[in-house]
Chain A
């Protein structure tokens, strides 16, 4: 049991109209990790997420949760989308409570408990005072906080986040980053976080993956039809709950190192040079 990873992606490749999107993706995520996946736009980040969700099935390879193959979206894997995806006909309270209500048997005693739990989660994301507002009455940051609470409340085994802060203003984004780290720590969550923002990926993650199609299969030979691979899998030190660290020189050098690896179409290096087998020994 101890050796079974929470999420295992095993040799997954995916095609779209004969075009390779993803190629030989391998990784394992253990309970409690905060994994960020960063890559240039169009590199197949969202496709990978949809595979993990179970919205698409992988053409080759396997994806499993605690050893069981992933079929369709279910309560094991919570999701937070960039576009918030709150239910417009429900107010904040009802939106957050929805996951509990869908599974309850509608008796009054239970309802009271669920309501208490909902308010607890609303206070975690600082939305207690806005419980009876509808999504259209909230700012983007508030909507995303509601969406986070909505997914967290049913305690999924892993929380998948698809560029969740991509549409927010920079200072709100910083606030949200601190908030999600705080929630991750307090609730002992496992998070798989997709972003195209390098700084965000490095700041948030305990582990960062770089997904990119910019590599060479053989020396001086770049195939046209090659899918994105994971070119880097790096463990990072845990971070302080402040965005100050983003201004340190170490942070800058890390950002430029990753930019060189995954974001530069001209500087393609041989695939062997990368740590694609994900040795965690380094």
Chain B
């Protein structure tokens, strides 16, 4: 009996994986078809490079040292970009959680800051990008700052709502158990908000990547966004498309990792 249930479950799993791969295969097939057709017309077509051409270009970027800089370009770009993304999100998370805890715990601060925060969060970060670059220069910190400015209002607002939605009875209970104000914040509220923070970070990763690529495109000497905008000048689609794919894959993996963390370390959060 148990054996059979196990078998059925495995079949279900296989079915799930099979179905999930179908759209990817279709996309790949359509692309190959279009690429082949274009190459029949013009053997030197650069707009839709064949998959083997892209694999070659990607191989060179990833595993052949660049003669000019003596480095593996893909890894250099990836490392530079991830550092900025992580920095930007890290500062946004710290800023967001500090502001959110204070706003949620102090009603007067809520009145003072919340409307302002809602207003701020409506500013399209890309629109103030020139202001930031003009005011602060084009150094590394500014690219991190751009990401932070873009996503901290989202994180803050979401966490404030999460804390305000927490049952009031829990706070009362904590007080009857002798908790001080600081203990309420650090042992009752903060641990309950952490898994939500991970979720908001997952949701704002897309925005983070967008701001990263934009920042790198305008002022940088390395990074995934920089590379794409650099080789654009030579119509090097055989580099651009694998880079886009690589960025997408990285984003997907980061998302999956965060999901895995929240599912394992904060299993109670997913169940309530």
Contact = CB atoms under 8 A, between A and B. Distances in A.
A257 B173 CA distance: 36
B176 interface: yes
Interface stretch (B66-74, B177-185, B224-232): B177-185
B173 A79 contact: yes
Interface centre among B173, B180, B187, B271 (most CB of A within 10 A): B173
Report, nearest first, the 7 A-B pairs whose CB atoms are least far apart. A99-B177, A73-B175, A136-B271, A85-B169, A75-B178, A134-B268, A89-B191
B170 interface: yes
Interface string A76-88: 0111010101011
A151 B167 contact: no
8 contacts: A53-B176, A74-B178, A88-B272, A98-B187, A99-B177, A103-B178, A136-B271, A150-B177
A154 interface: yes
Contacts of A55: 172
A74 B175 contact: yes
Interface string A196-217: 0000000000000000000000
B188 interface: yes
Contacts of A241: none
Interface in A8-64: 53, 55
A67 to B, nearest CB: 20
Contact of B177 (A75, A89, A134, A137): A75
Contacts of B178: 74-75, 99, 102-103, 154
Given A81-B169, A136-B271, A73 B176 contact: yes
A135 B192 CA distance: 14
Contacts of A151: 173, 176-177
B176 A85 contact: no
Contacts of A134: 267-268, 271
B167 A83 contact: yes
A260 interface: no
A78 B176 contact: yes
Contacts of A140: none
Interface string B143-154: 000000000000
Interface of B: 167, 169-170, 172-180, 183, 187-188, 191-192, 266-269, 271-272
Given A85-B167, A88-B272, A102 B179 contact: yes
Contacts of B174: 98, 102
B6 to A, nearest CB: 23
A250 to B, nearest CB: 37
A89 B268 contact: yes
B179 A156 contact: no
Nearest to B169: A85
A72 interface: yes
Nearest to B175: A73
A102 B170 contact: no
A140 B99 CA distance: 36
Nearest to B190: A89
A75 B179 CA distance: 9
Interface centre among A74, A102, A134, A156 (most CB of B within 10 A): A102
B172 A79 contact: yes
Contacts of A78: 176
Contact of A87 (B170, B172, B175): B170
B167 A87 contact: no
Contact of A85 (B173, B267, B268, B269): B173
A137 to B, nearest CB: 8
Given A85-B167, A103-B178, 12 more contacts: A55-B172, A75-B176, A79-B173, A81-B169, A81-B173, A89-B192, A98-B174, A98-B177, A102-B187, A134-B271, A150-B177, A154-B178
Given A88-B192, A150-B177, A53 B268 contact: no
Contacts of B169: 81, 83, 85
Given A85-B167, A102-B183, A136-B271, A79 B188 contact: no
Contacts of A88: 192, 268-269, 272
Contacts of B188: 87
A98 B177 CA distance: 7
B272 A136 contact: yes
Contact of A136 (B176, B187, B268): B268
A184 to B, nearest CB: 18
A53 B168 CA distance: 13
